[in-house]
């Protein structure tokens, strides 16, 4: 009979006939588990469900010869007490109670992926026996031609001298996307799974559920891998599992005072059970009970659940020593590599003193940092952990948003105040720009591009490139130097609207042109192409004049490397999607062949120069007859026939010749940035002599 204290909506109490096609799924010490189908009234569709019921009294008596009526009653009460957890919980990572049958059996949603212990051990079946004995020393690394994933551990030397381990999985490449090579040949890239990020995602979800229960003064009491259910698993190249904690079942001590030994058998066995339940009898479960079990779960999942984690009872001398020294089981070494504080905190969950075990809110904070670091380990086919460790880190909690600076199709940039106070220097802060992906743009591809931007940007160190200061944790946002004057496009537009005479800023425009050229020459020297050079992506900063310490001059700094790419050392181009940035800055080969050469940036530089000397006008190619923008095909044909942007009124003829040279139809006919820099410097000297200027370029 359903206990009166559990308030259920009228439709949640079902007759036994509600669940059809029942078949035995398994059995526990006190319960039987069945799978079946149940029709949903609203949609008239069937869904797979699980039903669980207490074994009948006669069967319990036959199995446990010494069990009495009081103990049987306690089993039933404990079973129904567990309904409080799942019925009163509205959390995405706690299994849902769908209803209760008239017989007292409960109906739960079914997890298609089964339990985590079965799933992870199946995923790791290709590992050799020697690998199973020591996970942290696996060095497989071969690409499997089979569809079953194989895992390997690689050791990577960081710039800091630290060595980290990375678990990757290679899978059968058939059925995955490809890309075109130089001659149209198709090269298949074998996808890999970042299992460390996958495991951390599982542990994060379980911790959020336990934190939810803790906030409601509830505990689960049976946290182990076999009670964590996998509902969905994401694409192979992203850690997107969805897990839920199963119902705890019979977890509480029975009321019988004459059956203390039997009462303890109802709880978790070592090493999941806390030390206080082994050393002495405990009348009541403390709320920190799940913390101990969670730490053991971390070790269990970290070791692929293939080790026999269960300890013998009574404990051996070595197991007792482990219990008393916070070394109950070996934690995966990569946890300490990712976040030493998390590693230490998990060990503290095994503290013999219950009050000293860390809270789940503290664990979630450190897990968040580990998740960010693990995600940066897996960038394309290279490891970004090395890159991540070599930059400064900021804490999200120390960043306060002041205002939004700008927003593009994919990302948003905010002005933030960073509190870098210390004991010696209190109340100290600095302004920084922080870039993140928009919430509705967090697709797999966009996230990969965002990581690629970080990977490329961190390599740059040039006076005409916006400086990447570091990474904000745990969000993974990019922290940049704040450029107070905004973009070059905004600077030009503002001067035009204020009707500032063109001649009065002509000197500065020439300076900007040379500075942008110097920055692009540096980028190409690093084997990168920008792919999105435009006045909107050049920032206007300030610096002290080298000739006059009291004078501040403006300086152009290139930014926004979201579309930037590395160019293979054996090639001079990169293939990509021509729809990714505005067509007005396209070179012809980008439109037709979707290929981006070093000199494709030169074409964009010519358009940027046109923006500068047109005083911030927007470059437009229009159909003269339709008075509308040209399509990609129309634009390519027009460029092939020699159509180009007209010379701005205030642009000197000699300067426009340099601009026009950037727009040679064939990419190989365009100048390099090195040659352009020489031409611009000569033009700057000639213009200075002609106009009588006496300025110098910083």
Distances (CA, A) of 45 to 7, 62, 552: 26, 40, 72
Q: Is 548 a catalytic residue?
A: no
Q: Which two tokens stand for residue 697?
A: 């370029």
CB 308 within 8 A of CB 343: no
Sign, CA dihedral 517-523-529-530, equals negative
Helix (H) or strand (E) holding 278: helix 276-279
Query: Of the candidates 419, 319, 400, 334, which has an alpha carbon nearest to the alpha carbon of residue 370?
Result: 334
The CA-CA-CA angle for residues 294, 299, 304, to 5°, reads 120
Q: Consult the annotation and say whether 435 binds a ligand.
A: yes
Residues 652 and 506: their CA atoms lie apart, in Å, by 11
d(CA 61, CA 57): 6
Residue 371 Rama label (left phi>0; alpha psi -120 to 50; beta): alpha
Question: Is the N-terminal amide bond of 355 cis, ω within 30° of 0?
Answer: no
- Number of separate helices (H) and strands (E) present in the chain: 21, 27
Q: Are 642 and 664 in contact (CB under 8 A)?
A: no
Q: How far apart are CA 32 and CA 15, in angstroms?
A: 18
Tell me how far apart the alpha carbons of residues 588 and 596 are, in angstroms, rounded to a whole number.
10
* Beta strand 392-395 pairing with 468-473: parallel
The whole-angstrom separation of Cα 468 and Cα 461 is 9
Whole-angstrom distance, CA of residue 249 vs CA of residue 223: 11
Q: How far is CA 391 from CA 362, 373, 412, 681, in A?
A: 25, 12, 21, 35
The catalytic residue among 247, 267, 386, 532 is 532
CA distances from 535 to 478, 605, 667, 692 (A): 21, 9, 22, 28
- Asked if the peptide bond before residue 254 counts as cis, ω within 30 degrees of 0, the response is no
DSSP alpha helix (H) spans, 377-424: 385-389
Active-site residues: which are they? 532
Annotated binding site for ATP: 435
């Amino acid at each position: 009979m359903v206990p009166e204290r559990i308030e259920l909506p009228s439709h949640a109490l079902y007759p036994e006939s509600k669940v059809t096609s029942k078949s035995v799924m398994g059995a526990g010490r006190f319960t039987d588990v069945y799978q079946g189908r149940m029709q949903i009234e609203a949609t008239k569709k069937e869904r797979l469900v699980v039903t669980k019921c207490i074994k009948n009294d006669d069967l319990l008596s036959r199995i446990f010869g010494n069990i009495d009526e009081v103990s049987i009653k306690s089993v039933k009460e404990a079973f129904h007490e567990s309904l409080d957890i799942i019925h009163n919980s509205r959390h995405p990572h706690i299994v849902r109670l769908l209803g209760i049958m008239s017989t007292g059996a409960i109906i739960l949603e079914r997890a298609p992926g089964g339990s985590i212990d079965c799933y992870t051990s199946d995923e790791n079946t290709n590992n050799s026996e020697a690998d199973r004995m020591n996970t942290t020393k696996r060095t497989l690394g071969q690409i499997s031609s089979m569809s079953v994933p194989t895992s390997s551990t690689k050791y990577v030397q960081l710039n800091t001298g630290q060595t980290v381990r990375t678990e990757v999985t290679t899978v059968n490449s058939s059925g995955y996307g490809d890309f075109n090579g130089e001659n149209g040949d198709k090269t298949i890239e074998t996808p890999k799974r970042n299992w460390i990020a996958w495991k951390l995602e599982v542990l994060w979800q379980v911790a959020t559920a336990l934190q939810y229960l803790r906030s409601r003064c509830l505990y689960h009491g049976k946290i182990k891998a076999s009670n964590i259910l996998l509902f969905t698993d994401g694409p192979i190249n992203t850690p997107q599992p969805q897990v839920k904690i199963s119902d705890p079942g019979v977890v509480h001590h029975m009321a019988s005072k004459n059956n203390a030994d039997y009462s303890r058998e109802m709880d978790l066995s070592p090493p999941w059970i806390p030390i206080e339940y082994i050393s002495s009898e405990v009348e009541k479960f403390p709320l920190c009970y799940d913390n101990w079990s969670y730490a053991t779960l971390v070790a269990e999942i970290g070791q692929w659940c293939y080790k026999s984690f269960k300890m013998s009872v009574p404990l051996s001398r070595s197991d007792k020593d482990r219990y008393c020294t916070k070394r109950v089981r070996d934690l995966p070494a990569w946890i300490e590599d990712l976040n030493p504080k998390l590693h230490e905190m998990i060990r503290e969950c095994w503290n013999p003193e219950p009050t000293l075990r860390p809270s789940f809110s503290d664990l979630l904070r450190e897990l968040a940092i580990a998740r960010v670091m693990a995600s940066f380990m897996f960038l394309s086919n290279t490891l970004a952990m090395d890159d991540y460790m070599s930059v400064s880190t900021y804490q999200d909690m120390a960043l306060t948003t002041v205002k939004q600076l700008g927003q593009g199709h994919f990302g948003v940039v905010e002005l933030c105040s960073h509190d870098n106070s210390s004991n010696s220097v209190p109340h100290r802060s600095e302004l920084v720009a922080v870039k993140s992906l928009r919430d509705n743009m967090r697709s797999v591809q966009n996230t990969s591009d965002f990581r690629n931007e970080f990977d490329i940007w961190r390599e740059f160190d040039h006076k005409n490139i916006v400086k990447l200061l570091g990474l904000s944790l745990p969000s993974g946002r990019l922290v940049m130097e704040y450029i107070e004057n905004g973009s070059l496009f905004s600077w030009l537009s503002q001067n035009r609207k204020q009707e500032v005479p063109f001649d009065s800023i002509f000197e500065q425009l020439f300076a900007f042109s040379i500075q942008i050229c110097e920055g692009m020459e540096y980028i190409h020297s690093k084997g990168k192409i920008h792919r999105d050079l435009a006045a909107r992506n050049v920032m206007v900063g300030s610096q002290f004049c080298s000739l006059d310490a009291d004078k501040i001059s403006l300086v152009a700094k290139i930014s926004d490397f979201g579309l930037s790419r590395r160019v293979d050392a054996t090639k001079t181009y990169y293939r990509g999607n021509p729809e990714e940035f505005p067509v007005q800055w396209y070179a012809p080969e980008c439109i037709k062949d979707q290929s981006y050469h070093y000199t494709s940036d030169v074409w964009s530089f010519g358009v940027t120069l046109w923006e500068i000397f047109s005083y911030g006008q927007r470059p437009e190619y229009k159909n003269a007859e339709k008075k509308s923008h040209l399509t990609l095909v129309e634009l390519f044909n027009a460029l092939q026939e020699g159509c180009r942007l007209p010379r701005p009124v205030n642009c000197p003829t000699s300067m426009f010749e340099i601009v026009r040279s950037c727009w040679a139809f064939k990419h190989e006919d365009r100048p390099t940035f090195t040659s352009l820099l020489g031409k611009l410097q000569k033009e700057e000297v000639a213009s200075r002599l002609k106009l009588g200027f006496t300025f110098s370029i910083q």
